[in-house]
Structure 1
Amino acid sequence: MARQTISSIPTCMGADLKSKGFKVHEITDIVPAAEVQARRDFYKIVMVTGDFVLKFGDKTVDIDGTYLFFANPNVLHTIIPRSLQRSGYGCAFTEDFIAGREMTELVHNSPLFRSAESPVLPLNADQVAFLTGIYKKLLAVYHSDYDHRDDLFRNCIELIIHEALQIRPVNQDLREHNAATRVTRSFLELLEKQFPIDAPSAPLKLRTAQDFAQSLSVHTNYLNRTVKAVTGKPTSVLIAERIIAEARALLHHTDWSVADIAYGLGFEYPTYFNNYFKRITGTTPNAVRASKV
């Protein structure tokens, strides 16, 4: 069965976003498509009922039921449908649409949009009913002439995010009040702030545990120990996963040469990048780029 990007839920979403910065749409049965859209255009919050496999970055989640999904524009998202029966709602918004200190900080600092964590939340019947009401309100106002609709859209986005933060399992939250989780959260935020890479001339600066430890003013061994204790993964693995996710996105969604991608990700020589990429993924950058055709 053909693959399609999560950005094709719905496929008409992109054109409207370019002019207004916001789109809301009801999801109905979808015919699989091979369409691939640019990843850097917008954030998405999708409530969907269906049976499919969701891939984001290098992670995979099986979806069977009703879930809330948060799409970060810096990470490639793909769905592999197992059934064409799908329903729900989706809203999408650009970076410019949420411009403003409080709204921008809410989105940028929310763990729901962090690439290092799962952006998928299972919903119960009460949660589905509550969120359905919000989406229906969004749809009604979207098709109206209400003068302050953009303000209402932003308020509803915030309401969905806050509802999701309450739903999110406690064991996924890195906000516990102890030194280890504070350091880990600072590390993850510092890692994420480096992306997306916008130009080869502005390369990635922090690429090793030592780099991050120095920036956070902690010992490398302490950083490694606390990050592993909180996330279950070594610091080096989290860094590598994020670099590889960015590399894949650049290979699929830009016309940069492999050499430019290597320089943008902080590699001194393209051969170093090729060896690094193949060691972690088992394939080459050129093979990944060729696979998008």
Structure 2
Amino acid sequence: MPHLDNENQIFNNLYDQYKHLGLPLHLIKHTDFTVFNLRDVNQPSPFKSPLSRLNFFVFAFIKSGDGDYTIDEQNYKLQPGAVYFTNPGHFRSFNWEHIDDVYLFTLSESFLKENVHANIFDEFPFLLAETFPARVLAPEIFAEFETLYHQIRKEYDSESPYRYRIIGNLFVVVLLKFKEYIWKDYNPIYEGNRSSEIVKSFKRLLEKHYRDLAGGLAEQVFRVQDYADAQSLHPNYLSNVIKVKTGKTISTWIAEKTIAEAKALLQNSQASIKEIAFRLGFNEATHFSNYFKKHTDMSPVLFRKEHAGIA
């Protein structure tokens, strides 16, 4: 593959990344959620991907395959029986020496909130971890995950009108298994530096604040100054750390969180557009509608209509 400028390699979903790399697009049926066997990409070995910022979650289950991946300059080995996940905002690259049976999931935050769990990061805080090294599981434990991801793949390929709701419930089980078998003894040895702690604290406060907004426990959207004050930092310093570590400005994080929460409320609640606007800190429903349409190319009313009955 040709060398590409890292600064230009920012992808919000797997479809955009694969299109950019000239990889098969028929495997991707939904930009917010994908699942398939990497061998179906049909690329000659070794199969390498250039360094890119990926703004979506990735889960991988390696039954048979070998290689390594790099995330924010940390390199991890990929081998049979290993599982791993990464979250949005990091530089990532992959080097597969051999791919025989490797299942890959990609998920947006919106998909997780709309179909898996409304308070996803409260229930599964490990999803906010800065790094999560690949872990090799005992065969009997890996087999439990294998049963689940094959069932999810079956639903993904189906035409059932309930497939995303079914997938969401199955993925809850996947995440609970992560908590049961992997997270309980996880030692975040790569998360000790100050910048990582700042990013983690920012993400946690961002999530909590929007949960409070949605629940009526807060009325005003936090500004950069508020997030900086929470960590006793200068706002310019906080902004710089977040931009360098995640590739996104704080304003982008806030905008994406606002839209993710808005989508979840539109799909999973009976609240009016005006009430949702107020919950998310907008003084006027019109302002909220314009904001939502600017970021999604769809009005809140149309989004709710098109997603009625899916969750």
Tell me the CA shift for residue 38 of structure 1: 5.8
Secondary structure of 1:127's aligned partner: helix
* One-letter amino acid of the counterpart of residue 138, structure 2: N
TM superposition shift of 1:91: 1.9
Structure 2 residue 86 is matched with structure 1 residue 71: yes
| SS, match of residue 54 in structure 2 | coil
Which residue is 1:172 aligned to? 186
What is the DSSP-based 3-state SS (H/G/I as helix, E as strand, rest coil) of the residue aligned with 2:93? strand
Q: 2:162 & 2:27 partners in 1: Cα distance? A: 22
1:1-50, Cα deviation, whole Å (9 max, x unpaired): 999999679863885333xx32211222643255666622x322211242
Identical-pair percentage: 10
Number of the residue aligned with 2:57: 43
Does 2:22 correspond to 1:17?
A: no
From the superposition, tell whether residues 263 and 128 of structure 1 become closer, same or farther in structure 2 (CA, over 3 Å): closer
On the 8 A contact 1:54/1:61 being kept in 2, the answer is yes
Counterpart check, 1:212 vs 2:231: yes
Could you tell me how far 1:158 is from its partner in structure 2? 1.0
Aligned partner of 1:26: which letter? N
Q: Is the aligned partner of 1:88 residue 2:85? A: no
- Rate the CA distance shift 1:192–1:155 in 2: closer, same or farther, 3 A: same
Cα 1:14–1:57 change in 2 (3 A) is: farther
Partners of 1:116 and 1:17 lie apart in 2 by 26
TM-score by length of 1: 0.55
Which residue of structure 1 lines up, in the alignment, with residue 278 of structure 2?
none
> Is 1:2–1:34's contact at 8 Å kept on the other side of the alignment?
no
SS across alignment from 1:131: helix
Query: Unpaired runs of 5+ in structure 2?
Result: 189-196, 207-222, 254-311
Match of 1:145 in 2: 159
1:161 lines up with 2:175 in the alignment: yes
**Mapped partners of 2:252, 2:169: distance in 1:** 36
Structure 1 residues 121 and 57: CA distance shift in structure 2, 3 A: same
- Report the number of matched residues: 209
The residue that corresponds to 2:113 in the other structure is 99
Instruction: Find the residue that maps to 1:17 and give its secondary structure.
Output: coil
The aligned amino acid for 1:65 is: P
Code of the aligned partner of 1:22: F
Q: 1:188 to 1:101 in 2, by over 3 A?
A: farther
Match of 1:245 in 2: 245
Q: 1:66 to 1:38 in 2, by over 3 A?
A: same
1-structure distance, mates of 2:57, 2:95 = 20
CA pair 63-38 structure 1, distance change in 2 beyond 3 A: closer
In the aligned structure 2, how far is the partner of 1:106 from the partner of 1:37?
25
- Whole-Å separation in 1 of the counterparts to 2:172 and 2:104: 15
- 1:30 and 1:158 mapped to 2: Cα distance? 31
Whole-angstrom distance in 2 between the partners of 1:241 and 1:115 = 16
Residues 131-180 of structure 1: CA distance to partner in whole angstroms, max 9, x if unpaired? Answer: 11111111222222222111111011111111011111544279xxxxxx
Provide the rounded CA distance (Å) in 2 between the counterparts of 1:87 and 1:113: 24
The residue that corresponds to 1:192 in the other structure is: 203
SS at match of 1:96: helix
Q: Counterpart in 1 of 2:38?
A: 27
Q: For residues 127 and 35 of structure 1, do their structure 2 counterparts lie closer, same or farther at Cα, with a shift above 3 Å needed?
A: same
Judged with a 3 Å threshold, the aligned counterparts in structure 2 of structure 1 residues 54 and 2 are, in CA distance, closer, same or farther, namely farther
